[in-house]
Structure 1
């Protein structure tokens, strides 16, 4: 039963439970259709009274700058341009609806435009796939679908990486020719694809070495210094469960729960540690945020005032494994559970490893 007889005369705050600072779900369910109810419940509500503010939804901070405006317009231009050059499956849909009269591949004008033909079986591509022994089977084996071709290449031990580079360059070369842009010759595709693949592999190996050397310390949990207690937190989002907030908003809500929990237990000197770099940066920042997540960050900062000393720490996922494991296990825990001396059996091995490493 809806308690508002004429809700047109009420403001949005009439839909908020002032005691819990959350949406009045029963009221919302009675006033709006299901689609609108879902959208409303996805809007985070701050614990403190805040004024209505316009914000830019295409930046993490909610602030608008000329740079963000330019990036938005640039992205819109790309979307419009991509719609002018339709993918093959879109063209096939238009053909079925009789929007276009024919579907002929422009490079050879002798066959229907399909993925396999466009990057592989077109006779005009002999200069690409006829070079070397890797693709000498081209004239002997026929394929109808791209999936069929890829499965055959994989079964025969052919280089799928090299094929991907060559196919992409064939497609890219054709698109550039269509719009009168400078493009490589088909004779050069095989050689340049091999060079790009070699460069990619070299860069990947260098990156692996650099990451291993630089970040090995950040992959493990470390115990706090004397006089401080460390509070690790993490969130879990499940597809099968109705999600009221976005993942970054859930992360902020969990951080708020963690710091509130610590305060209720009497801790006044603590480290709040999580694996969301964006959230930890926001908590450390002295600048305000206009985004919906910013309201939740402000709630965390309000609770932080009650601490004598509070530090924020970012750690990679491997250094936050206990909190991550607990978060994923919440589906099996119907109510609030608190462990003081004992711990949940499913995290004992992870906890022992962290204690051993940090000692």
Structure 2
């Protein structure tokens, strides 16, 4: 990453160096112990345009690393230090960054690709976006005004002016634009309008004999800057062993909420002493990550490793995807966390406001 660029460098090498600069500028650190990441100057604050802390840097704190703000024993943020050194809005954003309990190394990831891997295509899109932002456009009327005036003053036929105007507006019937229009028409024609028509007539099913099924789900409450987690554990007869609902701070991505719900689900299963479990969630991306033997570079990858580690605590543990309409009890538990901010647990039961949803699952078994 520190290679030089001599004046005699080839075009290919200069292109590689250009790509390196894009990575340096746009890659983000996923925090583990925080020992490799500087509080000020490094990209590590997700969900912001610059990905960097903008709070004033105190004299003598220039070399502080993020590890200063982490309780390494309990894997939690030191909220009092965050409040002391940083502005309120940044302190709150950092408190919502989930920390792994097993993956303690800091990892540089590429946030512009869902799996965290850098690709030439995603790097090119970043450069293209930067270039377009510097060009005159409808979002900057003053900058484009002189361009349109120059076009309309040209001593050429009106149809030529019109052609130039349409070219600048990217409204010519090019192959790309025509294909986009056709795709839009095809989508409108073939996508079902009714949600019920697209929903298969299936429901929750009990696990095989000897297994316990653990359904989990997450819910987002963006206005309140909170998220909810719901978990329900059931046996082969469909009866509830335990359920929980908990409110947490809203992380940056939906996938982090889902993965935290999965982690809480297995921690809960360990606490209540069940064995041979099937963990089911309605996020295909997460279930695929949990079933993979590879370490994910995605934002939620370190949390997925926590789930895999917890899975090793059971004699048998399987990960399986379930459709949302078969995950209604867990979803309802997650949604109710908006009203009840604390961790709530029900043994051999679900809360009264979720009972009808649970009963519907039981009726579907007959």
Query: TM-score range with shorter-chain normalisation?
Result: 0.5 to 0.7
137, 156, 180: which one aligns with 1:86: 137
* Contact kept? 1:177, 1:183, Cα under 8 Å: no
Mean CA deviation greater in 220-229 or 38-47: 38-47
Structure 2: distance between partners of 1:327 and 1:174: 54
2:116 is the counterpart of 1:62: yes
Matched, 1:324 2:308: no
Q: 2:285 aligns with which of 275, 278, 295?
A: 278
**Higher Cα Rg, which structure:** 1
- Give the corresponding residue for 2:82: 28
The alignment's C-alpha RMSD in Å is 3.9
Q: Would the aligned equivalents of 1:38 and 1:244 in 2 still touch at CA under 8 Å?
A: no
Paired residues for 1:117-136 under 5 Å? none
Q: Would you say the 8 A contact 2:82–2:91 is kept in 1?
A: yes
CA offsets 1:251-293 (integer angstroms, 9 cap, x no match): 1111100111011111111111111111111111111113331
**Structure 2 CA distance for aligned equivalents of residues 223 and 212 of structure 1:** 23
User: Which SS does the other structure have where 1:324 is aligned?
Assistant: helix
Shift of 1:349: 1.8
CA contact (8 A) 1:235 1:250 kept: yes
CA–CA separation in structure 1 for the residues paired with 2:152 and 2:61: 63
Give 1:132-171 correspondences, 5 Å limit: none
Higher helix fraction: Structure 1 or Structure 2?
A: 1
- Tell me, what secondary structure is at the counterpart of 1:338? strand
Residues 294-346 of structure 1 deviation map (CA, whole Å, 9 limit, x = unaligned): 11111111111001111111122211111111111112224322222332222
Structure with a larger share of its residues in strand: 2
Q: Identify which of 210, 213, 231 aligns with 1:227.
A: 210
The structure-2 alpha-carbon separation of the partners of 1:285 and 1:174, relative to structure 1 and needing over 3 Å to count, comes to farther
3-state SS of 1:233 partner: strand
Please name the residue that 1:356 is paired with: 363
What residue in structure 2 maps to residue 343 of structure 1? 350
Cα distance, 1:25 vs structure 2: 0.5
Secondary structure, in 3 states, of the residue corresponding to 1:43? coil
- How far apart in 2 are the matches of 1:203 and 1:100? 36
Corresponding residue for 1:309? 316
Aligned length: 274
Q: Distance in 2 between matches of 1:102 and 1:53?
A: 46
Q: Distance in 1 between matches of 2:89 and 2:343?
A: 31
Paired residue secondary structure (2:280) = strand
Aligned counterpart, 1:144: none
How much does 1:74 deviate?
Answer: 3.3
Query: What's the counterpart of residue 146 of structure 1?
Result: none
Q: Distance in 2 between matches of 1:334 and 1:305?
A: 31
Q: Secondary structure at the match of 1:358?
A: coil
C-alpha separation in 2, matches of 1:61 and 1:270: 27
TM-score (norm. length: structure 1):
0.64
**Mapped pair 1:73 → 2:124:** yes
CA contact (8 A) 2:280 2:321 kept: yes
Give the TM-score, by structure 2 length. 0.63
Distance 1:202 1:245 in 2: 36
**CA spacing shift, 1:244–1:7, aligned 2, 3 Å:** farther
| Residue segments in structure 2 that go unaligned for 5+ positions in a row | 1-57, 226-248
What aligned pairs does 1:154-193 form with structure 2 within 5 A after superposition? 176-178=166-168, 183=173
Q: Which digits, 9 at most, give the CA deviation of each residue in 1:171-220, with x for residues without a partner?
A: 9x886444899648xxxxxxx9xxx78x96666554549x9899616x53
Is the alpha carbon distance of 1:226 and 1:59 closer, same or farther for their aligned partners in structure 2, counting shifts above 3 Å? same
**Within 1, Cα distance between the matches of 2:294 and 2:350?**
39
